[in-house]
Amino acid sequence: MVRMRREKEMIERTFNPDDGDKLEEVQSLTIDTDSQPAEQEQMMHSRLMPTAAAKRSRVWKAALVAVTTLAIFGALCLTFYIFYEPSTSNSAPLIQPNDLYALHDLLLVGYAAVFVKVDSAATQQVQDTAVDLTALLPMVHPWAPCRAAFAQLEPLADPADTVARAARVAWDCLPHEFKSTDFSATFDRQCITDVALAKSAKNPKVLPAARSSLSTCEASRWDRTCSYWSVIHSTALWAESSSQPLVLKLLIVLLWSGATQCSG
């Protein structure tokens, strides 16, 4: 840097060799390059200091906003938790025992396997499924009096008779104690082997006297199907609590085999 200053002074003398006053004036204006880095550093530092302070200020403001937001949200959650009272009213009717009346048809129509080729291996499998479900009813039926009634049954020589008797008990054990006269048509033991008779019972309707005893299915226009779904949901729930996972598979097989008869 000293060299740069001397070179500048020499240049000034070259252009002003005889003018001593001007030379002194020029020399007095010569920049002292030795002190320039320190001055530049001081100026840079003075410029950066406001920027860093501004950044710290913005960080503190953002933190304050975040904390305030969290505090407000926490207060709202606490208020909701303290004062909220969930509604216990439910306008939708719940499934009641009488809604399970179509277990009668699920067993018999399922055993008949109306959607399966007659005398096929699949027919035998479906019929075995109906018998297996009958054997599990003492443990998985949602209504305690029905579980007790099914527990009294012993298998008969003819599996169809075993299923037909269990189907009758599925009516008798309910509070309404359903009978064939409570329906516009009935799928009974004879329908298993009589195709024409089975078709006549494909859309049974609950008659007014018995309909008033229903709950969730009272207003349904799909009488038997509504009861099927009530049976499936409540039985599967009870089976899960009783560690009987096979039940849902049995119910699905019976539906697949034609339990709805594509109607009612």
Report the distance separating Cα 150 and Cα 153, nearest Å: 5
> Residue 147: what pLDDT?
97
Map residue 206 onto helix, strand or coil: strand
Which pLDDT belongs to residue 228? 96
Q: Looking at the domain assignment, is residue 167 inside a domain?
A: yes
Residue 232: inside a domain: yes
In a domain, 247, yes or no: yes
CB 184 within 8 A of CB 121: no
Q: Looking at beta carbons, which pairs linking 220-224 to residues 24 or more positions away fall under 8 Å?
A: 222/264, 223/102, 223/264, 224/102, 224/105, 224/260, 224/264
Identify the three-state secondary structure at position 183. strand
Domain assignment of residue 120, yes or no: yes
Is residue 48, in this structure, part of any structural domain at all?
no
At 25, list the tokens. 């004036």
Is 67 within a domain? no
Q: Say whether 109 sits in a helix, a strand or coil.
A: helix
DSSP assigned state of 261:
T
Q: How many angstroms separate the CA atoms of 24 and 58, rounded?
A: 53
- Predicted pLDDT at 69: 75
3-state SS class at 140: helix
- Phi, psi at 220, each rounded to 5°: -75, 145
Burial-class residue 143 by CB neighbours within 10 Å (0-12, 13-18, 19+): buried
Task: Specify the pTM.
Answer: 0.66
Give pLDDT tens digits along the chain (264 positions): 544 555 445 544 544 445 544 444 444 444 444 445 555 555 555 555 556 666 667 767 776 777 777 777 667 766 766 765 555 555 668 999 999 999 999 999 999 999 998 889 999 999 999 999 999 999 999 999 999 999 999 999 999 999 999 999 999 999 999 999 999 999 999 999 998 999 999 889 999 999 999 999 999 999 999 999 999 999 999 998 888 888 989 999 999 999 998 854
Provide the residue range defining the domain that includes 238: 100-256
* pLDDT value of residue 136: 96
Whether residue 213 lies inside any domain: the answer is: yes
* Kind and range of the H or E run holding 100: none
Q: Quickly tell me which residue has 């024409």 as its tokens.
A: 196
User: Is 181 contained in some domain?
Assistant: yes
Q: Is the separation of the CB atoms in 189 and 164 below 8 Å?
A: yes
User: What's the total number of domains in the chain?
Assistant: 1
